[in-house]
Homo-oligomer: A and B are copies of this chain.
Amino acid sequence: MTDKKEQILNAALALFAAEGYKAVSTNKIAKKAKVSEGLIFRHFENKQGLLDAILGQAVDRTKVLFAPIIAESDPKKVIERGIRLPFTIDEGEYPFWKLQFKLKWEIEYSGAEKMRPFIEKLAWAFTELGLKEPQKEAEILNHIIESISGGILKDGLESQKPLMGFLLKKYSL
Protein backbone atom coordinates (compact mmCIF):
# COMPACT_ATOMS: atom_id res chain seq x y z
CA MET A 1 0.00 0.00 0.00
CA THR A 2 2.82 2.37 0.77
CA ASP A 3 4.57 0.90 -2.23
CA LYS A 4 5.07 3.45 -5.00
CA LYS A 5 3.81 1.09 -7.65
CA GLU A 6 0.60 0.73 -5.66
CA GLN A 7 0.33 4.50 -5.28
CA ILE A 8 0.53 4.91 -9.03
CA LEU A 9 -2.13 2.25 -9.59
CA ASN A 10 -4.47 3.84 -7.04
CA ALA A 11 -4.01 7.35 -8.34
CA ALA A 12 -4.50 6.23 -11.94
CA LEU A 13 -7.65 4.29 -11.10
CA ALA A 14 -9.16 7.23 -9.25
CA LEU A 15 -8.33 9.68 -12.03
CA PHE A 16 -9.31 7.43 -14.94
CA ALA A 17 -12.62 6.69 -13.23
CA ALA A 18 -13.33 10.35 -12.56
CA GLU A 19 -12.15 11.91 -15.81
CA GLY A 20 -11.57 9.16 -18.35
CA TYR A 21 -8.45 7.51 -19.73
CA LYS A 22 -7.64 10.00 -22.49
CA ALA A 23 -8.40 13.03 -20.38
CA VAL A 24 -5.81 12.19 -17.71
CA SER A 25 -2.14 12.88 -18.32
CA THR A 26 0.72 10.86 -16.89
CA ASN A 27 1.89 14.10 -15.32
CA LYS A 28 -1.37 14.39 -13.39
CA ILE A 29 -1.16 10.79 -12.25
CA ALA A 30 2.41 11.30 -11.05
CA LYS A 31 1.42 14.36 -9.04
CA LYS A 32 -1.55 12.63 -7.42
CA ALA A 33 0.59 9.59 -6.59
CA LYS A 34 3.38 11.88 -5.32
CA VAL A 35 5.84 10.14 -7.56
CA SER A 36 8.10 11.20 -10.41
CA GLU A 37 6.53 10.92 -13.83
CA GLY A 38 9.35 8.76 -15.14
CA LEU A 39 8.59 6.08 -12.58
CA ILE A 40 5.27 5.37 -14.22
CA PHE A 41 7.07 4.30 -17.38
CA ARG A 42 9.66 2.25 -15.46
CA HIS A 43 6.88 0.22 -13.89
CA PHE A 44 4.30 0.06 -16.68
CA GLU A 45 6.25 0.74 -19.87
CA ASN A 46 3.63 3.15 -21.19
CA LYS A 47 0.27 4.71 -20.34
CA GLN A 48 -1.65 1.88 -21.98
CA GLY A 49 0.28 -0.60 -19.84
CA LEU A 50 -0.90 1.26 -16.76
CA LEU A 51 -4.50 0.93 -17.89
CA ASP A 52 -3.97 -2.75 -18.69
CA ALA A 53 -2.60 -3.35 -15.21
CA ILE A 54 -5.77 -1.86 -13.72
CA LEU A 55 -8.02 -3.72 -16.14
CA GLY A 56 -6.23 -6.98 -15.49
CA GLN A 57 -8.14 -7.20 -12.24
CA ALA A 58 -11.49 -6.69 -13.92
CA VAL A 59 -12.06 -10.30 -14.93
CA ASP A 60 -11.21 -11.59 -11.46
CA ARG A 61 -13.18 -8.93 -9.64
CA THR A 62 -16.21 -9.64 -11.79
CA LYS A 63 -15.94 -13.34 -11.01
CA VAL A 64 -15.73 -12.61 -7.29
CA LEU A 65 -18.75 -10.34 -7.56
CA PHE A 66 -20.88 -12.98 -9.25
CA ALA A 67 -19.51 -16.01 -7.41
CA PRO A 68 -22.19 -16.13 -4.68
CA ILE A 69 -24.91 -15.92 -7.32
CA ILE A 70 -23.40 -18.56 -9.56
CA ALA A 71 -23.05 -20.86 -6.56
CA GLU A 72 -26.64 -20.35 -5.41
CA SER A 73 -28.85 -23.39 -5.95
CA ASP A 74 -32.22 -21.84 -5.14
CA PRO A 75 -33.57 -20.15 -8.29
CA LYS A 76 -35.53 -17.55 -6.36
CA LYS A 77 -32.44 -16.60 -4.43
CA VAL A 78 -30.54 -16.23 -7.69
CA ILE A 79 -33.01 -13.62 -8.91
CA GLU A 80 -33.06 -11.88 -5.56
CA ARG A 81 -29.29 -11.66 -5.29
CA GLY A 82 -29.11 -10.42 -8.86
CA ILE A 83 -31.50 -7.59 -8.09
CA ARG A 84 -29.74 -6.72 -4.85
CA LEU A 85 -26.29 -6.84 -6.44
CA PRO A 86 -25.92 -3.20 -7.54
CA PHE A 87 -27.13 -2.00 -4.16
CA THR A 88 -24.58 -4.00 -2.21
CA ILE A 89 -21.41 -2.82 -3.92
CA ASP A 90 -18.96 -1.31 -1.46
CA GLU A 91 -18.66 2.42 -2.04
CA GLY A 92 -14.89 2.12 -2.02
CA GLU A 93 -15.21 0.06 -5.19
CA TYR A 94 -17.30 2.60 -7.06
CA PRO A 95 -14.30 4.11 -8.91
CA PHE A 96 -13.27 0.72 -10.23
CA TRP A 97 -16.72 -0.13 -11.56
CA LYS A 98 -17.27 3.37 -12.82
CA LEU A 99 -14.15 2.96 -14.89
CA GLN A 100 -15.57 -0.20 -16.45
CA PHE A 101 -18.70 1.67 -17.51
CA LYS A 102 -16.67 4.59 -18.84
CA LEU A 103 -14.36 2.40 -20.89
CA LYS A 104 -17.28 0.55 -22.41
CA TRP A 105 -17.88 3.76 -24.35
CA GLU A 106 -14.42 5.34 -24.44
CA ILE A 107 -12.63 2.38 -26.03
CA GLU A 108 -14.05 -0.83 -27.49
CA TYR A 109 -13.26 -2.97 -24.42
CA SER A 110 -15.91 -5.67 -24.14
CA GLY A 111 -17.62 -5.83 -20.79
CA ALA A 112 -20.37 -7.98 -22.33
CA GLU A 113 -18.27 -11.15 -22.22
CA LYS A 114 -17.84 -10.93 -18.47
CA MET A 115 -21.61 -10.76 -17.92
CA ARG A 116 -22.37 -14.00 -19.75
CA PRO A 117 -22.11 -16.45 -16.82
CA PHE A 118 -24.40 -14.19 -14.80
CA ILE A 119 -26.98 -13.96 -17.56
CA GLU A 120 -26.88 -17.73 -18.06
CA LYS A 121 -27.44 -18.27 -14.36
CA LEU A 122 -30.43 -15.94 -14.45
CA ALA A 123 -31.77 -17.87 -17.45
CA TRP A 124 -31.33 -21.10 -15.54
CA ALA A 125 -33.25 -19.65 -12.58
CA PHE A 126 -36.11 -18.50 -14.81
CA THR A 127 -36.21 -21.96 -16.39
CA GLU A 128 -36.50 -23.56 -12.96
CA LEU A 129 -39.31 -21.20 -12.10
CA GLY A 130 -41.18 -22.30 -15.21
CA LEU A 131 -41.10 -19.03 -17.16
CA LYS A 132 -41.93 -19.24 -20.86
CA GLU A 133 -38.87 -17.53 -22.29
CA PRO A 134 -36.19 -17.75 -19.63
CA GLN A 135 -33.35 -16.54 -21.87
CA LYS A 136 -35.14 -13.33 -22.75
CA GLU A 137 -36.33 -12.82 -19.18
CA ALA A 138 -32.70 -13.06 -18.17
CA GLU A 139 -31.55 -10.56 -20.74
CA ILE A 140 -34.21 -8.06 -19.73
CA LEU A 141 -33.38 -8.39 -16.05
CA ASN A 142 -29.72 -7.99 -16.90
CA HIS A 143 -30.55 -4.81 -18.80
CA ILE A 144 -32.37 -3.50 -15.75
CA ILE A 145 -29.53 -4.38 -13.41
CA GLU A 146 -26.94 -2.85 -15.71
CA SER A 147 -28.87 0.37 -16.16
CA ILE A 148 -29.51 0.66 -12.43
CA SER A 149 -25.83 0.05 -11.76
CA GLY A 150 -24.98 2.85 -14.15
CA GLY A 151 -27.45 5.10 -12.37
CA ILE A 152 -25.90 4.37 -9.00
CA LEU A 153 -22.39 4.98 -10.28
CA LYS A 154 -23.38 8.26 -11.91
CA ASP A 155 -25.97 9.70 -9.55
CA GLY A 156 -25.43 7.81 -6.32
CA LEU A 157 -27.12 4.95 -4.48
CA GLU A 158 -30.02 7.04 -3.28
CA SER A 159 -31.19 7.81 -6.80
CA GLN A 160 -31.94 4.15 -7.47
CA LYS A 161 -32.69 2.76 -4.03
CA PRO A 162 -36.50 2.92 -4.25
CA LEU A 163 -36.38 0.59 -7.22
CA MET A 164 -34.88 -2.36 -5.34
CA GLY A 165 -37.88 -3.20 -3.18
CA PHE A 166 -40.16 -2.62 -6.12
CA LEU A 167 -38.24 -5.04 -8.30
CA LEU A 168 -38.17 -7.70 -5.61
CA LYS A 169 -41.95 -7.45 -5.39
CA LYS A 170 -42.35 -7.42 -9.17
CA TYR A 171 -40.40 -10.66 -9.45
CA SER A 172 -42.44 -11.89 -6.44
CA LEU A 173 -39.58 -12.46 -4.00
Binding site for B on A (CB under 8 A): 20, 22-23, 101-102, 104-106, 112, 133, 136, 139-140, 143-144, 146-148, 151, 154-155, 162-163, 166-167, 170
Contacts and interface: CB of A to CB of B under 8 A. Distances in A.
Q: How many copies of this chain?
A: 2
A133 to B, nearest CB: 6
Given A102-B105, A106-B105, A147 B154 contact: no
Nearest to A159: B112
B140 A166 contact: yes
Contacts of A162: 136
Contacts of A163: 136, 139-140, 143
A77 B22 CA distance: 43
Contacts of A23: 22, 106
